Structure 1
Amino acid sequence: MSLEQQLIERLQQLQPTHLEVINESAGHGGYYPGKESHFKVVIVSEAFEGLRLVQRHQKIYTLAAELLAPNAIHALAIHAYLPSEWQGQAPDSPECAHAPKA
């Protein structure tokens, strides 16, 4: 099973009303087809009620802990919202300084 699918399955424990897991590996140095190293997570869940932003991130890191290892997920951008905060779109990811040049 792909890292992306494993991450999705783990995050389902938060019973999200919206979940996007985006593999952004192609925009980073050392990319090759099929590489899974950089991900962006956009998640909306009531499980974040009463939590500060850092606590929301900690909750996600706890679920993804085994996937955040050498030769696995190298970078994880997290955008965690309550349903009342969700505006329908997360910010774009910045360009990587080491991205492959076209």
Structure 2
Amino acid sequence: MSITADQLQARLAERLQAEVEVVDESHLHAGHAGAREGGRHFRVKIRSAQFEGLRTLARHRLVYDAVSDWMKKEIHALAIDAADTPN
């Protein structure tokens, strides 16, 4: 099963009470090992009050926790820009 950018956006928005933008960059990785196995490459920009006071690593852990079941196969790579401010 392959997920879409819309599905990823909806899950992150719900679980992190966040403003989320998702870009599917899978086409840039055609032929890559993860892409051949069905894993998608996404870039996400997330703004959530839950990130307030957290360092980058802790913010990224929250994001990965929100999609941990998809990280096994559906998502091969996830580039994250996570902040607590709307910028």
- Give the TM-score band, short-chain normalised: 0.7 to 0.9
Is 1:39 matched up with 2:8? no
Per the normalisation by structure 1, the TM-score is: 0.68
Structure 1 segments of 4 or more deviating over 3 A?
A: none
Aligned to 2:83: 81
CA-CA distance at 1:11 after TM superposition:
0.6
- Identical aligned residues as a percent: 42
Structure with the bigger percentage of strand: 2
Residues matched between the structures, number = 81
The structure with the largest alpha-carbon Rg is: 1
Q: Secondary structure at the match of 2:69?
A: helix
Can you give the 5+ residue segments of structure 2 that lack an aligned partner in the other structure?
Answer: none
Per the normalisation by structure 2, the TM-score is: 0.79
Aligned to 1:54: 57
CA-CA distance at 1:2 after TM superposition:
5.5
The two structures, once aligned, show a CA RMSD in angstroms of 2.2
C-alpha distance in structure 2 between counterparts of 1:68 and 1:27, whole Å: 19
